[in-house]
Amino acid sequence: MHIPPPTPRQMYWNRVLLNTFWMVLFVYLASQLFVALSMWGHRPELSGGQYFINHILIPDSILLVLLLILEVVHKWKPLMSEFSIIVASHLYGILMIMNLSTEFHVKPLIMLLPLLVSMIYLKDNYLKASSIICLIYIIMLFLNTATYDYTLRIQNIIITLIFAGTSLAGFGVIARGRDLMQSLENSVKSEQDLRIQNIIMDRLSKIDPLTDLYNHKTFHEYLGWLIEHQQNNPFPLQLAVLDIDNFKKVNDQYGHWVGDIVLKQVAAVMLQHIGSDDFAARYGGEEFVIILTAKPLEDSVRIMDKILTGIAGLPINEMENKSVTVSIGMHDYDGTDSKSSTFQQADDALYEAKKTGKNKIVIF
């Protein structure tokens, strides 16, 4: 079974826990040195090189090696980093407890470390395993406590209650954390669905559903924005208005459903020839508009001529393989026209093309 690699968030928390282990080691070492130096000369058992070697150098070196192993696993075996940190947290606690004097009756509380680490990962299995290990440790504490030492037994009972409370709180934290994560996932999913709906609604408000071109409203908004932008940063701009010749005859002879097919195929030819910087829209009925930008008039006329001949040479099966033609009026924007006058001049050019024979391009 393929195991997915850890996510960036998992790697982040593994790194946080490793950093915490390093901090604990430094604090532990500093406290050991403080105790040894403060008791130097006052208590023989805490003085001398042998104590330093047996109770500071060796155990802390073992903890250091353990942390270095965790660092290697984190870097080279990230899939095993989480599990290795859980296991190491128990070893970490046990090694520290074994090195502390029996005089420190609160040292069993160090076993809270693996419980807390398990809680951070929000996994029941980790917390159950840590709780079982703590339970075994508590049992060993009671077995090693003299029956007459009531004070120590009461302390062990208190420690047991602390472990039990921490474990129960841990399961509650994990359950609550999962609820929050589920709520977050649901919120993210709802937000994504809403964004998709907004995108769809935005598209529906801008796109003509029959031809998949932009609609009349979007054309006027875009043309107005282009003209405003062009006045501040001049660039070539041409507007072409296209009208299908004798379209009423197509509807009357073949039906409106064939007329819809003609509109779709004319739109497809337009999209086939215009560039990524150009804009095509269905203006209304059988009339279309194309905005051509960032190219000289000669290139734009060449594109419109390809569209003109492409439509005229396209047989339509539903019309007994006959084709339709279009008339095209163009206007080369000179930087002084308004939006309305720009469209008016292209529309006048279209009227001239219609009047003088159709299936042609006229430029005003």
Look at residue 256 in the predicted model and tell me its pLDDT: 94
Tell me the three state secondary structure of residue 223. helix
Which residues make Cβ contacts (< 8 Å) with residue 207, sequence separation at least 6?
A: 213, 214, 215, 218
Q: At what angle do helices 8-38 and 78-99 cross, to 10 degrees?
A: 20
Look at residue 355 in the predicted model and tell me its pLDDT: 94
Closest CA to 67 of 97, 98, 89, 96: 89
Phi, psi at 278, each rounded to 5°: -95, 170
Cβ–Cβ under 8 Å, residues 291 and 278: yes
Look at residue 363 in the predicted model and tell me its pLDDT: 95
Which among 185, 286, 298, 352 is annotated as catalytic? 286
Which residues make Cβ contacts (< 8 Å) with residue 175, sequence separation at least 6?
A: none
If you search the block for the tokens 């509807």, which residue do you land on?
A: 251
CA gap 49, 200 in Å, rounded:
77
Look at residue 55 in the predicted model and tell me its pLDDT: 75
CA gap 43, 204 in Å, rounded:
86
Based on the residue annotation, tell me whether 228 is a catalytic residue of this protein.
no
Q: Is 357 left (phi over 0), alpha (psi -120 to 50) or beta?
A: left
From the first residue on, what is the mean pLDDT of each consecutive set of 10 residues in the chain (364 residues)? 74 92 90 75 61 80 92 91 92 86 78 91 90 90 79 85 92 90 85 72 79 92 88 88 95 94 96 92 95 93 96 93 96 89 95 94 94
Look at residue 43 in the predicted model and tell me its pLDDT: 60
Closest CA to 241 of 117, 166, 328: 328
Cβ–Cβ under 8 Å, residues 92 and 19: no
Q: At what angle do helices 124-143 and 112-120 cross, to 10 degrees?
A: 170
CA gap 313, 305 in Å, rounded:
12
Look at residue 305 in the predicted model and tell me its pLDDT: 96
CA gap 307, 86 in Å, rounded:
69
Token pair of 224, please? 């107005």
Closest CA to 275 of 287, 288, 255, 293: 293
Look at residue 42 in the predicted model and tell me its pLDDT: 63
Amino acid at 329: G
Look at residue 202 in the predicted model and tell me its pLDDT: 65
Closest CA to 170 of 253, 112, 83: 112
CA gap 324, 114 in Å, rounded:
79
Amino acid at 260: D
Phi, psi at 291, each rounded to 5°: -105, 120
CA gap 358, 245 in Å, rounded:
7
Look at residue 56 in the predicted model and tell me its pLDDT: 81
pTM of the model: 0.55
